[in-house]
């Protein structure tokens, strides 16, 4: 890509002209931090202090529950971080229980069916629910 010197500055040029348009400059202002684009597969742990910790750096956690393996925990993230948790596999009648370290809406989130998802956002202090199949009595239950 050719560059044109303008005094001590170099100006980016292309077949479309020089520099970025105002629209292009605005689009570059939206930065997702952290930009974490990874997936983890997890089998939950038991509820007597052995909950499996979900990765704080994986964007998506696919969680399986089975007999005596129903609990996961989630540490605090960084401000603006999104986390998607999917109850991917459910063996028998074993619900998934998610316990965030700091949760604005309660203390736990429970899924009673496979293939349910919830999306959380860390606001700098607490995890906030931003999307998911959520009710007070079924699906993803906040308690």
- From the list 17, 23, 57, 20, the residue with the least C-alpha distance to 40 is 57
Domains and CATH numbers, the chain: 1-30 (no CATH), 31-142 (2.60.120)
The pLDDT profile of the chain, 143 residues, written as one tens digit per residue, is: 445 455 555 555 555 555 666 666 655 555 555 555 788 899 888 766 689 999 988 999 999 998 888 999 999 999 999 999 999 999 888 899 999 999 998 999 999 888 899 999 999 999 999 988 666 655 667 76
Which pLDDT does position 99 carry in this prediction? 95
Which pLDDT does position 47 carry in this prediction? 66
Distance CA 110, CA 71 (A): 9
Beta bridge partners of 140: 111, 134
Which pLDDT does position 35 carry in this prediction? 53
Which pLDDT does position 109 carry in this prediction? 92
Which two three-digit tokens encode residue 105? Answer: 């809406």
Q: What is the pTM of this model?
A: 0.70
Residues near 109 by Cβ (< 8 Å), separated by ≥ 6?
A: 85, 97, 98, 100, 103, 118, 129, 140, 141, 142, 143
């Amino acid at each position: 890509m050719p560059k044109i010197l303008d005094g001590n500055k170099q100006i980016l040029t292309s077949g479309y002209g020089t520099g970025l348009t105002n629209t292009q400059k605005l689009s570059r202002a939206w930065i997702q931090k952290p930009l974490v684009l990874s997936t983890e597969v997890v089998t939950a742990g038991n509820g007597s202090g052995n909950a499996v910790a979900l990765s704080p750096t994986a964007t998506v956690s696919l969680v399986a529950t089975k007999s005596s393996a129903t609990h996961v925990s989630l540490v605090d993230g960084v401000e603006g971080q999104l986390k998607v948790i999917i109850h991917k596999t459910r063996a028998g009648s074993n619900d998934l229980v998610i316990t965030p370290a700091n949760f604005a809406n309660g203390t736990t989130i429970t899924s009673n069916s496979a293939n349910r998802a919830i999306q959380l956002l860390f606001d700098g202090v607490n995890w906030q629910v931003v999307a998911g199949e959520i009710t007070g009595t079924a699906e993803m239950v906040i308690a």
